[in-house]
């Protein structure tokens, strides 16, 4: 089994690579990543000497980078994690990077996968494509796609392009839509690692609006096991929701972190709300449970305990990110080599 994983230096992609290498002795993985601000090779530390793993720096929206990869190696599948993933950035810093990577990049991959006859393509999508729920109900795979923020709109567009390629060109593609992940290696701009880092340092914990927005939280390893199953077992053209069905208001998450770290609620600061902030996400994941026999292995409590333990034992990892020091590491490690090989590190 040889897999090209795009975006494997990010949070979920790096967890997926570790998951697959642990589970399958004969798997080979090429991690194809642009190393944006969110891509961090420290997420893969320890794998450098694993002969089944290779890193290659490239941009999914650059057709030459992608072609160079697929023309040189024969893959059984491409799993696309690469994305601009942060909602706040898509609202406040501009949407063009999101359009470029999340939409154009996905189409570049689709075209290359078709051209090079890669047997399987998995698009990692999100529950955000469904928009926001009222007080009742859950998202199923049949819920309308109604994105409310620029990030979600680009992910929805990518889903439509994947669907269109499978209908028009016979692309063997599957789409997964997962809820909010948490766990090791999550970039500390997202709610849970931001709160852990700030609380540890005694800094304010910024809660948007009234703190009653609901997200459905899943431990990242359970997302990885679901992707593995969908990749191997799902019918071409199918879409699967993934969620652990633990949907709670943000303020409850923040208070849990405060309690587990032995800090005080006085750190909580209610701040101006995110514009267009989706009120509630909740996933119906009956389809993947019934069709493929998937279920999450981690309760929220177990996943959160492991997560806090990881952030406490790996303080240097998030302190380096928050100080910007991890970028210096890239320049030292890759600056010259990048110039040597015309953009690709092999």
Query: Can you tell me the distance from the alpha carbon of 146 to that of 47, in angstroms, rounded to the nearest whole number?
Result: 39
CB of 271 to ligand DAU, least distance (A): 7
Q: CB–CB of 19/224 below 8 Å?
A: yes
- 311 is known as an active-site residue: no
**What part of residues 123-142 is at the interface with ligand NAD (CB under 6 A)?**
124, 126
Hey, what are 295's tokens?
């279920």
Q: Which of 181, 244, 250, 285 lies at the binding interface for ligand NAD (CB under 6 A)?
A: 181
CB of 100 to ligand DAU, least distance (A): 16
Q: CB–CB of 40/189 below 8 Å?
A: no
Q: Which of 33, 59, 84, 127 is catalytic?
A: 127
Q: Which of 104, 107, 126, 176 lies at the binding interface for ligand DAU (CB under 6 A)?
A: 126
Site string for ligand NAD, 29-48 (x = CB under 6 A): ----xxxx-xx---------
**What part of residues 183-212 is at the interface with ligand DAU (CB under 6 A)?**
190-191, 194, 206-208
Q: CB–CB of 188/318 below 8 Å?
A: yes
- 22 is known as an active-site residue: no
Q: Which of 33, 84, 128, 159 is catalytic?
A: 128
Query: Residue 209: how many CA atoms within 13 Å on its side-chain side?
Result: 14
Task: Identify which of residues 71 and 204 has a Cβ nearer to ligand NAD in the complex.
Answer: 71
Query: Can you tell me the distance from the alpha carbon of 251 to that of 255, in angstroms, rounded to the nearest whole number?
Result: 6
CB of 264 to ligand NAD, least distance (A): 28
CB of 11 to ligand NAD, least distance (A): 4
Residue 128 as a binder of ligand DAU (CB under 6 A): the answer is: yes
Residue ranges in the chain assigned as alpha helix (H):
11-23, 63-72, 87-92, 96-98, 106-115, 150-169, 191-200, 220-233, 250-260, 286-292, 300-313, 315-323, 325-340
String of DSSP letters for 185-246: T--TTSHHHHHHHHHHTT--EEEETTS--EEEEEEHHHHHHHHHHHHHHSPTT-EEEE----
- 24 is known as an active-site residue: no
Report what 247 binds from ligand NAD, ligand DAU, none; CB cut-off 5-8 Å by kind.
none
C-alpha distance from residue 331 to each of 27, 33, 252 (Å)? 30, 15, 40
Nearest to 222 by CA among 128, 302, 142: 302
Report what 296 binds from ligand DAU, ligand NAD, none; CB cut-off 5-8 Å by kind.
none
Residue 20 as a binder of ligand DAU (CB under 6 A): the answer is: no
Question: What is the binding site for ligand NAD (CB under 6 A)?
Answer: 6-7, 9-13, 33-36, 38-39, 59-61, 81-85, 101, 105, 124, 126, 155, 178, 180-181, 187
**Which residues of this chain interact with ligand DAU, rule CB under 6 A?**
85-87, 126-128, 179-180, 190-191, 194, 206-208, 213, 215, 250, 274, 281
The catalytic residue positions are 127-128, 151
């Amino acid at each position: 089994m040889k897999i090209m994983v795009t975006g494997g230096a990010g949070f979920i992609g790096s967890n997926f690579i570790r998951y697959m290498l642990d589970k399958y002795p004969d798997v080979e993985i090429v991690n194809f990543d642009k190393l944006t601000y969110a891509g961090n090779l420290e997420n893969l530390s320890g794998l450098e000497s694993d002969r089944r793993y290779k890193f290659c720096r490239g941009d999914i929206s650059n057709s030459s980078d992608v072609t160079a990869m697929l023309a040189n190696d024969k893959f059984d599948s491409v799993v696309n994690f690469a994305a601009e993933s942060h909602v706040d950035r898509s609202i406040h810093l501009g949407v063009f990077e999101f359009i470029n990577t999340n939409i154009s990049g996905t189409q570049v991959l689709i075209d290359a996968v078709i051209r090079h006859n890669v047997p399987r393509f998995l698009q990692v999508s999100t529950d955000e494509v469904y928009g926001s729920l009222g007080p009742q109900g859950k998202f199923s795979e049949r819920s309308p796609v109604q994105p409310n923020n620029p990030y979600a709109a680009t992910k929805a567009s990518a889903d439509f392009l994947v669907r269109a390629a499978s209908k028009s060109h016979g692309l063997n593609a599957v789409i997964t839509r997962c809820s909010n992940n948490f766990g090791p290696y999550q970039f500390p701009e997202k709610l849970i690692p931001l709160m852990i880092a700030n609380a540890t340092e005694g800094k304010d914990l910024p809660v948007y609006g009234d703190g009653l927005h609901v997200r459905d939280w899943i431990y990242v390893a359970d997302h990885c096991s679901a992707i593995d199953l969908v990749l191997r077992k799902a019918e071409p053209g199918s879409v699967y929701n993934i969620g652990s069905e633990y949907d709670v208001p943000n303020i409850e998450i923040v208070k849990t972190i405060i309690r587990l770290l032995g800090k005080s609620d006085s750190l909580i600061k209610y701040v101006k709300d995110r514009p267009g902030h989706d009120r509630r996400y909740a996933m119906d994941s009956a389809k993947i449970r019934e069709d493929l026999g998937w279920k999450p292995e981690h309760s929220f409590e177990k996943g959160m305990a492991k997560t806090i333990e990881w952030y406490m034992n790996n303080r240097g990892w998030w302190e380096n990110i928050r100080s910007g020091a991890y970028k210096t590491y890239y320049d030292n490690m890759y600056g010259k080599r990048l110039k040597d090989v015309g953009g690709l590190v092999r």
